[in-house]
Amino acid sequence: MRSSMEKITHKEQFNAAIQAPGLTVAVFKADWCGDCRFIDPFMPDVETSYKDKLKLIEVDVEQAEGVSEEHNILGIPSFIAYSEGRELIRYVNKLRKTREEIEQFLDRAVEVYGAVSQ
């Protein structure tokens, strides 16, 4: 099953995506990143599970130049949740991420979004 995540390759496209109402989670990745490929097999299922709660976008750190620097992405894959242009919460480290860890982060992002959008 292929990921249906919108692929972000330009800074303008990224800015437009994170300005959207609702909860948007950016997944920062690169083709050469082994830990990014590790999450590929289960991300379509994760997307399906969370499709009613948030929108996932995939940011190619090589193509969307400047975005990862501006957002202090030091390791990939990394996840940052945004709502209407504001960063709510991030899961950024150099460690390999399991499906359980990613889902815990997404659950937390949904909680934080719920709290700030009251």
Q: What is the pLDDT of residue 10?
A: 92
Domain residue limits, the chain = 6-116
- pLDDT, residue 5, reads 87
pLDDT at residue number 92: 87
Which pTM was predicted? Answer: 0.94
**What confidence category does residue 67 fall into, taking pLDDT thresholds of 50, 70 and 90?**
very high
Backbone dihedral angles phi then psi of residue 91, each to the nearest 5 degrees:
-130, 90
Token pair for 95: 């460690």
pLDDT at 117: 80
* SS3 call for 64: coil
14-58: per-residue pLDDT in tens? 999 999 999 999 999 999 999 999 999 999 999 999 999 999 999
Contact present, 23 and 109 (Cβ < 8 Å): yes
Q: What is the pLDDT of residue 84?
A: 94
| pLDDT tops 80 at residue 118 | no
Nearest to 42 by CA among 86, 99, 109: 99
| pLDDT (0 to 100) of residue 2 | 61
The residue with greater pLDDT, 2 or 82, is 82
Query: DSSP letters of 16-33?
Result: HHHHSSS-EEEEEE-TT-
Domain topology for 6-116 = Glutaredoxin (3.40.30)
Q: How far is CA 61 from CA 30, 103, 104, 107, in A?
A: 6, 22, 24, 24
